Structure 1
C-alpha cells in the first residue's frame, strides 16, 4: 500500500537521488567552480538508474518480493556510484592543491540508508503476511 512506512523511505531515497543532485555540487575544483553530476555521463546514468528503480519500487507496492529485489539492485547501483566518487576523490593526479568535496558526494550514502530501511520494512511486511497465511 502507498501509505506504508517503506513508501516514505523510498520517497526520501527518490528525493536524494532524483532532485538533490541538481542542487548540491559533487565537489569544487581549485578555481572554486562547482562540479555537478551532469558533466560526467557515468554519474548521469547511475543517478538516473537509481531514480528509476526507486520510482518502479514505489509503484510495485503490491508485489513485495519484487519490491525487495528492486531495492537491493538500487543499493548496488548506489554503491557503484559511491565507489566512483571515492575513486575520483582519491585519484587527483596533477592537482597541487586539494579540491573541496561537496555534499553531493554523500547523497548515495543517504540513499543507501533509506533504501536499507525500506527493505527492512518490506521484509517485515512479507513476514507478517506469511505468518497470517500459516494461521488459515
Structure 2
C-alpha cells in the first residue's frame, strides 16, 4: 500500500540510493572525483540491489515478516557497499559527499523497519481483541 508511512521511507531510500550513484562523488583526490557510476562495480551493484529491494518491499505489504526481512537485507546491502568502498578503494583518496550521504537511505530503511514492526504490533493487538 502506497499510503503507509513505511512505503514513503522505502521509496525515499530507493530514490536517494540511485541519486547517490549518479550525482555525488564518493571519493576524490587532487586530480579527480570518483563517482559510483564510473569506478566502483561491486559497491554500485550493492546500491542497486538495495534500491531494488526497497521498491520490492513496498509491494510485500501483506506479509509484514517478509517485508521486514527484505528491508533488513537492503540495509545489509547498503552496509556492504559502504565497507566495499572503504576497503577496496581508499588508498590515498579522501571521502567525498556521497560516502556521508549513504547514511540517509540507511536511516530511512531503519525508520521503515520501525513502522513495519509497529504495524505488526497493531495487527497482533487487534487479533487479541477478537
Q: TM-score, normalised by structure 2?
A: 0.90
Structural RMSD (CA): 1.6
Q: Stretches of 4+ moved more than 4 A in 1? A: none
Structure 2 residue ranges without an equivalent (≥5): none
Q: Name the residue aligned to 1:110.
A: 104
Given that 1:82 and 1:109 are in contact with CA atoms closer than 8 Å, whether structure 2 keeps it comes out as no
Given that 1:28 and 1:102 are in contact with CA atoms closer than 8 Å, whether structure 2 keeps it comes out as yes
Q: TM-score, normalised by structure 1?
A: 0.86
Q: Name the residue aligned to 1:34.
A: 33
CA distance in structure 1 between the aligned counterparts of 2:61 and 2:75, rounded to whole angstroms? 18
CA distance in structure 2 between the aligned counterparts of 1:24 and 1:114, rounded to whole angstroms? 18
Larger Rg: 1
Given that 2:21 and 2:44 are in contact with CA atoms closer than 8 Å, whether structure 1 keeps it comes out as no
* 1:129 has 2:126 as partner: no
Structure 1 residue ranges without an equivalent (≥5): none
Does the residue aligned with 1:19 lie in a helix, a strand or coil? Answer: helix
Given that 1:7 and 1:118 are in contact with CA atoms closer than 8 Å, whether structure 2 keeps it comes out as yes
Does the residue aligned with 2:126 lie in a helix, a strand or coil? Answer: helix
CA distance in structure 2 between the aligned counterparts of 1:36 and 1:61, rounded to whole angstroms? 34
Does the residue aligned with 1:3 lie in a helix, a strand or coil? Answer: coil
**Over residues 8-29 of structure 1, what are the superposed CA-to-partner deviations in whole Å (9 max), with x where a residue is unaligned?**
1111111121223201111222
Q: How many residues align?
A: 129
